[in-house]
Amino acid sequence: MKLYQYIKPFFTSYLLNYFISYIPFWGVRKFFYKIVGIHLDTRSILDMGCYFIAPHKLTIGKYTHINRKCMLDARGYIKIGNNVSISHQVTLCSASHDFQSPTFDYISAPIIIEDNVWIGLNATILQGVTIREGCIIAAGSIVTKETEPYGVYAGIPAKKISTRNKNIQYNCTKFAYYRNFRKPYFK
């Protein structure tokens, strides 16, 4: 029985990240994602190649699109709101180690991403960060602190460089569906 307790998480993680995540059919991936405990709301899309740690601590809202090869480390919990666009190869890391600790203690804190957020290519969001409604995180940025609503953030560490229009009327997954079927990215 004890051996099974150690093998099951490893086996589940390996299957999820190296097989299920690469199934070319969204409906099949979505079915397995729900089985492993990802809380996935309606019309959200996770593209192929996403890597998950602690998927049962991941909650994704409505009309959210997570692009290819994102890393979602939810050991400290990740909540992603509605109508969020997360670009390719974004890292959400909710756990780490305390570099000041003589024993390299494990630390974790939740990542909260509110509604209508756009996170650019290769951005990194670290533990304990809340990205407020309507924010834009520029490509390649590393977010280490909470943001202000409708702010545009860029850099390492990310700093506010502008303010975004508050009249947001788009849907992050609308372009991807036609009569309840997933459309290809190209015509």
Domain segments of the chain as ranges: 2-175
pLDDT greater at residue 187 or residue 5 = 5
What's the pLDDT score for residue 61? 95
pLDDT digits (tens, 9 = 90+) for 130-176: 999 999 999 999 999 999 999 999 999 999 999 998 888 877 776 66
* pLDDT given for residue 91 in this prediction: 98
Read off the tokens for 75. 């050991």
Q: What local confidence, expressed as pLDDT, does residue 176 receive?
A: 60
Task: Give the pLDDT score at 10.
Answer: 74
Whether the pLDDT of residue 184 is over 60: the answer is: no
Residue-level pLDDT at 2: 72
* 59-95 pLDDT tens trace: 999 999 999 999 999 999 999 999 999 999 999 999 9
Is pLDDT of 180 > 80? no
pLDDT for residue 159: 97
Token pair listed for 141: 């940025």
Each residue's pLDDT tens digit, 8-34: 777 778 899 999 999 988 889 999 999
3-state DSSP assignment of residue 73: strand
Q: Would the pTM count as exceeding 0.85?
A: yes
Is CATH 3.40.50.261 the classification given to domain 2-175?
no
Q: How far is CA 61 from CA 17, 50, 116, 119, in A?
A: 21, 17, 11, 15
What is the overall mean pLDDT for the chain?
89
Assess contact for 51 and 71: CB atoms under 8 A.
yes
The answer for residues whose C-beta is within 8 angstroms of residue 149's C-beta and 6 or more apart is 114, 132, 133, 134, 135
Distance CA 50, CA 139 (A): 18
User: Among all chains, which residue has been given the structure tokens 């899309």?
Assistant: 45
Task: Note the pLDDT of residue 186.
Answer: 43
